[in-house]
Amino acid sequence: MRRILVFLAALWALALAFPLTVTDDLGRTVTVKAPPKRIVTMLPSVTETVCALGACDRIVATDDYSDWPERVKALPKAGGLYNPNPEFIVSLKPDLVLVSKYGRLYETLERAGLTVYAVRTETYEDIFRTTRTLGRLLGLEAQAERLVAQIQREVYQEESRAAKAKTRPRVYYEIDPTPYTVGPESFIGVLIQKARGVNIISKELGLFPKIAPEFVVEKNPEVIVATYPGALETIRARPGWSRVKAVQTGRICVFTGGQDSLLSRPGPRVAQGLRLLVDCFHGR
């Protein structure tokens, strides 16, 4: 009887929480009338977070790149940031669509009468803020707090492992061959710091700046991290980069084939990405 009463009390509390009005990461006011049961997620990190909250069964479609956990691979795909399929999304009749703050997809979906929440997760703290916000939107606030605590605990374990290292190598992180990199205040930049690396990029350059290749030669990093196919060959072939210490010593860590997702997605698996950096900087 006590369990039944507790369950009913939880349902009552959930009912009182809705309708819920929040401000999204575009500064828009969004009202969710009831706990959403049909969700479309248009960012891989958001898909992973919704599933980690225990609401994977509410997702009816994802963006093209969402591939974790395994079960989301079989879900219908609704395009990506630059090629979304709004007509398909509307046809699914979702009661909540979670989109990136970048792009104009939210405008099209709003005109179609859908409830749309725009997300921006770029800094380390954004990971936890977004997790808590998704918990509110889904009526899973307690689960969100548990998830936040779990992520922070896992990060601390890797951070403690890195703290045993005797050195702090200078690090250059390359997202793509443009080249785009990461500033120290981005979520990846914070992971570099927690792994006891020293980012050669200054915060004045921004979160994810485009830089000149000559800048890297000048800064002479001891470790290079890259997360795109063919990076090793690309980096070695650049004029002047043979003088870079990381190239000379072979300390170039290339993460692809799913490992790149652990580093590039600001979501519940971020500690696994940190583990990759710790191993790269200091050895296993």
Enumerate the domain spans of the chain. 2-119, 164-282
The residue that leads in pLDDT, 25 or 6, is 25
**Among residues of the chain, what percentage have pLDDT more than 70?**
94
Q: What is the pLDDT of residue 6?
A: 42
Q: Does domain 164-282 have CATH number 3.40.50.1980?
A: yes
Q: State the chain's mean pLDDT as an integer.
A: 95
Is residue 115's pLDDT more than 90?
yes
H or E element in which residue 255 lies: none
Q: Per-residue b/e over 71-107, b at no fewer than 16 CB within 10 Å?
A: ebeebeebbbeeebbbeebbeeebbbbbbbbebebbe
Q: Which of 12-16, 39-43, 102-106, 163-167 has the lowest mean pLDDT?
A: 12-16
Q: Which of 11-15, 95-99, 129-133, 272-276 has the lowest mean pLDDT?
A: 11-15
Integer distance in angstroms from the first to the last C-alpha of the chain?
Answer: 52
Asked, colleague to colleague, whether 2-119 and 164-282 share their fold, the answer is yes
Q: What is the pLDDT of residue 127?
A: 98
CATH class of the domain whose range is 2-119: alpha beta
Contact 197, 234 (CB under 8 A): no
Is residue 7's pLDDT more than 60?
no
Give 139-186 pLDDT, tens digit per residue: 999 999 999 999 999 999 999 999 999 999 999 999 999 999 999 999
Is residue 5's pLDDT more than 50?
no
Q: What is the pLDDT of residue 140?
A: 98
Is residue 14's pLDDT more than 80?
no
Mean pLDDT of 236-251: 98
Among the listed residues 156, 173, 162, the one whose alpha carbon sits nearest the alpha carbon of residue 282: 162
Q: What is the pLDDT of residue 2?
A: 60
CA 48 to CA 270: how far, in whole Å?
A: 11
pLDDT band at 100 (very low <50, low <70, confident <90, very high): very high
Is residue 38's pLDDT more than 60?
yes
Let me know how long the chain is: 284
Among the listed residues 279, 280, 262, the one whose alpha carbon sits nearest the alpha carbon of residue 271: 262
